[in-house]
A and B are shown apart, each in its own frame.
Chain A
Amino acid sequence: MKRFSHLFSAFLTIFLFINPLNLAQANPAAEGHSESNHTPKLAYLVSDIHIPFWEIMSRGIQEQAHTLGYQLEIYSAHNEAKRELKNTIQAIKQNVSGIIVSPTNSSACVTILELARKAGIPVVISDIGTESGDYVSYISSDNFQGAYQIGQVLTEKMQALGWQNGSVGIIAIPQARENGKNRTAGFLKALEEAGIKGGGLKQQITFSYQETYDYSSELINQTPNLKAIWLQGSNRYQGALDAIRDSGKENEILLLTFDAEPEFLELIPQGVLIASAMQQPFLMGSTAVSVLDNFLHGKKVEKEIKLSVLPISMANIKKMQPTIKRNVLGILK
């Protein structure tokens, strides 16, 4: 597992250094360095490129744009609304042929779509979604399906362990988000079908380690027969693990996650994590470019495309590893 983690870090470092152009493209000042003026240009507006999920997605976009012969400029908003709007304006001024956006939130997306619409630029939304507005297509993950399947993994495990009377606590992403709601609903459906009780739900606000640790401790303390904790994110899994350990219930409380971290390729086979439902950001990015390309070429496109979330557990991780590496982690080689 440690080796896998180091490998992933090395890949990321190499990629960042080898591909300075792509990094430069995130800077508007780099406009003048465009490869060619007649090459069709696409822009990718992303909320924060430093978040691995968006970075993996940007690589999927970049890889597919390149494949389809598009020049691509990536604008990261560093999770700032103002920057995002500035980026949008910048992108529009570059007279791009199309925009792929992963907005800071679905509300901000509305303004982006509006600005693009006024400029006559087609937009494909890649994840997050929008509250309203005109767009070509919306590419997203099927959170419900993923959560349901991961829930089934858990219930099977609990039944196997004879813990079907135990309850399951959830540390959720904000339920205001559409993806949060879908994840909870899918998961609870699986619990319900198995007749396993829910053991409380906490919504993440700061997404910090401490918050995750605290929420986990509270769930453990408040729920006597807590047998599992499902964390609807991936990056703060350590906080939950530490809380379980600190509560002295290691091996008594199972931990599940959503999305993936490179080290999961080791932790799931080790049984530290029971399972994780993994979105496929790289696939989402490449799909977005393909859809936009089809649109620009006058082809009919699906308005909404839901990509499946992979339920990865000890049982299938080995088999799904190539897919996980490319589509989930964006590791092409």
Chain B
Amino acid sequence: MNVKSKPIKNNSIYLRSGLIIITSVLLVMAVTTLFAYQGEKQRLDLEIKESAHRTMIAAEDHITDMIASYSVNEYSKIVHNEIEHNGLFAMIIQDSNMSTLLGESVYYKGYIRNHKGEIVEYDPADSRQAQQLHDAYFSQKKNLTDAQGNPLGTITVYISDDELHKRLDNLLVENLLSALAISLLLVATLFIMMRMQLLRPLTEIIETISHRDSDGLPKHFVPIKGPNEIQTLGRTLNHMVGAIKASQGQLLQQQEALKAATNRFQLAIEGSRDGLWDWLIKDNDIYFSERFANMLGYSPDDFISTPEAWMQLIHPDDLDKVRYRINQYLSGKGDKTYENTFRMQTKQGEWRWISARGKALFDENGEATRFVGFNSDITKAIQQQEELQEQKNILQYYASHDPLTGLANRSLFYDRLEQAIRKSQRNSEKLAVFFIDLDNFKEINDSLGHDIGDEVLKAVSEHLKKLIRSGDTFARLGGDEFTILIEELKQEQHASILAEKIVKDLNQPILVRNHELHLGCSIGISIYPENGDNPTDLLKNADAAMYRAKNQGRNNFQYYSREMTEEAFDRLNMEANIRSGIQNGEFVVYYQPQIDFSNRKILGMEALVRWNHPELGFIPPAKFIPVASSTGVIVDLDRHVMHKAVQDFAGWHKQGLEPGRLSMNLNIKQLQREDFVEFLKWLITDSNCQARCLELEVTEGELMNNPQQSIQLLKQIDQLGITLSLDDFGTGYSSLSYLKRLPISKLKIDQSFVRDLPDDKEDAAITGAIIALAKSLKLDILAEGTENEEQVRFLSEQGCSNFQGYYFAKPMPADKIKDYLNQFRSEAFAEDKG
């Protein structure tokens, strides 16, 4: 593009600087001229005055002589000459000689300039001349005397400002002319110099840069001429043009690269199954590609371009995750790639699995400004993955399970056992491993065939599944060998209960394909940690115990250690003995008084069961209660004891012994019985005992196994008028919220906390806290197991005044109670008297 340049325009440097030059020069010259004029004016003034003075002095002698010699014309000529040649306005001689001669008062002779500047003779009678003289710019007068000092007259010189003005005008004109000439010369020189030195190089630069290519860039480099600044300008322009051309080239390349990249990107988007989204965060505007919409069964027009609209399509279950991940990524300053997987709803209402990947751009403050990424529909992949996982699970299942019975196989059992060992190790728990072998299976298999044998195995496994807890592991190692893993075993003897059940169960005939088959089994039991601390040892020992069971005549179980086996059989015997003991009245009730120490009164008694075995003598409750509890015989036992105690108590009341309130332990197994409330009603009615005289103690730990159900039942009991207290408080993990909801009116501090009081600081703190808690909940408090005075004193100081323990009274049989009550009353009476 060629643009015809106009180097000199109205607004050009040339014109502007020209105006500046002209103005400056004229200004300088005007000031200079003015100063020169003023100086010259002063000088002229002085000169004229001095000249006048000099003229007068010079003429004085001549004129004096001429007056003396009556040479009027001579001095007139001198006067004329002086005026003419010295620029005087007038010079007038007052000639005393002539006035004397003429007989006149004065005689003047002189010349004056008229208005035309011509020198005319002075006429004293001419008023105009007189005025002119009066107006003269300067005058000087001198007296003239002869040699003897006689006055001869005067000489007066006049200077008019006309002369001064004339000379000043001339001077002004001369100065102005010279200033004008100098100015013109200066201006012309400056113009020429400026044109040569500045404008021409600049014009060449302008002309060069006005020849431009289609991009508007100069075709040629500008010439480097003129002064340094313009050369620098030229070099800078060339450098800039070079740099622009270079960057233009780069830009072109970048544009092409960008275009290629854009095309690639567009093709990739179009070709891809992924949907593009581009979220301008600050504008809250989001762009979705067509594919994005199509992926969800929408047309692009259906989409509202806001993140909120997009969010609405996300599965509610995934929404929090999506928001969390996005926020996490955007607050993480984009160090990594954003990745997320979630479900989105299609227009048809189906859910599609979407995998999103993206990157954000951040501004200088670290704020995310733009967030771009792709959504991929991975529903198929997820489905395939799920199918694969399912197959994998099946394979894994078969790898770890017995295909026939669906039980865990040896491998899985080993694995579970290993984990269970570690868990027990951590929790200081015991576990048991059962090794079960069917006693007559080989014969059945051999006689009825493998199919029947397999059916038998399946039937056995189904039977046994029903017996074992869901959390325990039941496995078939192969053949007719089964194993069971029992975790969280409180006592090793508890294992024998299950073993007994299994033996009994398999002792029953099994119906398979119309065959009533008698099986029987032998069980070997090994206990962790006593019989080994690894799967191999425990299995091996259980296997060994199983063989011992077989040797013992089959159809029984054996612990790996003989002591355990004996204990197990003791338990089994004990259960039977308890049942016969109940029948035979071997269980007796003992009573331990509960004292209010603050007023030395008997609050009541706790009923405690004692087993007086005809052969073994008194068996402690700790021996038979757990067995009774674990077998269910505890219910019969409890009801037996309760019935007996209530009867005793009703009798004492009738006798006026004021035994207080009867407190009885309530086993959780009772609460599990639906007829328990009915039993209580019967008990009250049967014994004719008032419900308010009865108190049931529930154990905290037991209640918490199923608190909801327990609360319901306890409320019914409470409604009967029976007092409820919480036994062994502090040993379980009571939720305080449940505690508040329980209809209890008393807390019993467990004797384990009392035992070491007041020395044990922790126990002291706990008991203090329990007492404070009871007070705040407005519950009565009673301390069990108080054995000495220090304990009583300490607890009293803490605010607990109700006690039960050896310090006050040991449990005693009913026949002793009468005496005790009588004695206590008499002692109390004596104290009162005393």
B321 at interface, CB cutoff 8 A: no
CA distance A84 to B76 in the complex (A): 17
Q: Is the CB of B101 within 8 A of A81?
A: no
CA distance A61 to B102 in the complex (A): 27
Q: Is the CB of A82 within 8 A of B70?
A: yes
Q: Is the CB of A111 within 8 A of B72?
A: yes
B255 at interface, CB cutoff 8 A: no
A236 at interface, CB cutoff 8 A: no
CA distance A172 to B101 in the complex (A): 36
Contacts A86-B101, A89-B101, A89-B102 given; does A81 touch B69 at CB 8 Å: yes
| Complex interface: chain A residues within 8 A of B101 (CB) | 82, 85-86, 89
Q: Is the CB of B102 within 8 A of A108?
A: no
* Interface members, chain B 94-125 (any A CB < 8 Å): 97-98, 101-102
| Complex interface: chain B residues within 8 A of A81 (CB) | 69-71
B77 at interface, CB cutoff 8 A: yes
B74 at interface, CB cutoff 8 A: yes
| Complex interface: chain B residues within 8 A of A89 (CB) | 101-102
A121 at interface, CB cutoff 8 A: no
B73 at interface, CB cutoff 8 A: yes
| Complex interface: chain A residues within 8 A of B71 (CB) | 81, 107-108
A218 at interface, CB cutoff 8 A: no
| Complex interface: chain A residues within 8 A of B74 (CB) | 107
* Interface members, chain A 81-121 (any B CB < 8 Å): 81-82, 84-86, 89, 107-111, 114
A35 at interface, CB cutoff 8 A: no
Give B32 Cβ to nearest chain A Cβ, in Å: 48
B63-97, CB under 8 A of A: which get 1 and which 0? 00000011111101100000000000000000001
| Complex interface: chain B residues within 8 A of A132 (CB) | 73
CA distance A84 to B69 in the complex (A): 11
Interface centre among A89, A111, A131, A132 (most CB of B within 10 A): A111
CA distance A109 to B72 in the complex (A): 10
Closest chain A residue to B103 by CB distance? A89
| Complex interface: chain B residues within 8 A of A109 (CB) | 73
Q: Is the CB of B73 within 8 A of A110?
A: yes
| Complex interface: chain A residues within 8 A of B97 (CB) | 82
| Complex interface: chain B residues within 8 A of A85 (CB) | 70, 72, 98, 101
CA distance A181 to B71 in the complex (A): 23
CA distance A252 to B236 in the complex (A): 107
Interface centre among B69, B73, B101 (most CB of A within 10 A): B73
Q: Is the CB of A111 within 8 A of B102?
A: no
| Complex interface: chain B residues within 8 A of A111 (CB) | 70, 72-73
Closest chain A residue to B69 by CB distance? A81
Closest chain B residue to A132 by CB distance? B73
Contacts A82-B101, A85-B101, A86-B101 given; does A107 touch B77 at CB 8 Å: yes
Q: Is the CB of A110 within 8 A of B102?
A: no
CA distance A62 to B70 in the complex (A): 28
Closest chain A residue to B80 by CB distance? A132
CA distance A114 to B74 in the complex (A): 13
Give A28 Cβ to nearest chain B Cβ, in Å: 13
Give A101 Cβ to nearest chain B Cβ, in Å: 13
CA distance A114 to B70 in the complex (A): 14
| Complex interface: chain A residues within 8 A of B73 (CB) | 107-111, 131-132
Q: Is the CB of B76 within 8 A of A110?
A: yes
Give B664 Cβ to nearest chain A Cβ, in Å: 181
CA distance A12 to B73 in the complex (A): 35
CA distance A84 to B70 in the complex (A): 9
| Complex interface: chain B residues within 8 A of A107 (CB) | 71, 73-74, 77
Contacts A82-B101, A86-B101 given; does A131 touch B77 at CB 8 Å: yes
* Interface members, chain B 651-666 (any A CB < 8 Å): none
| Complex interface: chain B residues within 8 A of A86 (CB) | 101
Give B94 Cβ to nearest chain A Cβ, in Å: 16
Closest chain B residue to A111 by CB distance? B72
Q: Is the CB of B72 within 8 A of A110?
A: yes
| Complex interface: chain A residues within 8 A of B70 (CB) | 81-82, 84-85, 108, 111
CA distance A114 to B101 in the complex (A): 15
CA distance A85 to B101 in the complex (A): 8
| Complex interface: chain B residues within 8 A of A114 (CB) | 72
Give A85 Cβ to nearest chain B Cβ, in Å: 5
Closest chain B residue to A86 by CB distance? B101
Give B803 Cβ to nearest chain A Cβ, in Å: 174
Closest chain A residue to B71 by CB distance? A81
CA distance A178 to B24 in the complex (A): 63
CA distance A74 to B49 in the complex (A): 48
CA distance A109 to B76 in the complex (A): 13
Closest chain B residue to A83 by CB distance? B70
Give B286 Cβ to nearest chain A Cβ, in Å: 123
| Complex interface: chain A residues within 8 A of B102 (CB) | 89
CA distance A81 to B97 in the complex (A): 12
B46-72, CB under 8 A of A: which get 1 and which 0? 000000000000000000000001111
CA distance A36 to B102 in the complex (A): 26
CA distance A307 to B199 in the complex (A): 85
Closest chain A residue to B98 by CB distance? A85
CA distance A111 to B66 in the complex (A): 13
Give B309 Cβ to nearest chain A Cβ, in Å: 128
Interface centre among A84, A86, A107 (most CB of B within 10 A): A107
Give A200 Cβ to nearest chain B Cβ, in Å: 31
CA distance A108 to B70 in the complex (A): 8
CA distance A111 to B72 in the complex (A): 6
Give A53 Cβ to nearest chain B Cβ, in Å: 23
A216-260, CB under 8 A of B: which get 1 and which 0? 000000000000000000000000000000000000000000000
CA distance A107 to B76 in the complex (A): 10
CA distance A128 to B742 in the complex (A): 176
Give B70 Cβ to nearest chain A Cβ, in Å: 4
CA distance A86 to B72 in the complex (A): 13
| Complex interface: chain B residues within 8 A of A82 (CB) | 69-70, 97, 101
Closest chain B residue to A93 by CB distance? B103
CA distance A282 to B178 in the complex (A): 67
* Contacts from B to A (Cβ < 8 Å): 69-74, 76-77, 97-98, 101-102
26 contacts between A and B (CB under 8 A): A81-B69, A81-B70, A81-B71, A82-B69, A82-B70, A82-B101, A84-B70, A85-B70, A85-B72, A85-B98, A85-B101, A89-B101, A89-B102, A107-B71, A107-B73, A107-B74, A108-B73, A110-B73, A110-B76, A111-B70, A111-B72, A111-B73, A114-B72, A131-B73, A131-B77, A132-B73
Q: Which 3 A-B pairs have the closest CB atoms?
A: A110-B73, A81-B70, A111-B72
Given contacts A81-B71, A84-B70, A108-B70, 6 further A-B contacts (CB under 8 A): A85-B98, A85-B101, A108-B72, A110-B73, A111-B72, A132-B73
* Contacts from A to B (Cβ < 8 Å): 81-82, 84-86, 89, 107-111, 114, 131-132
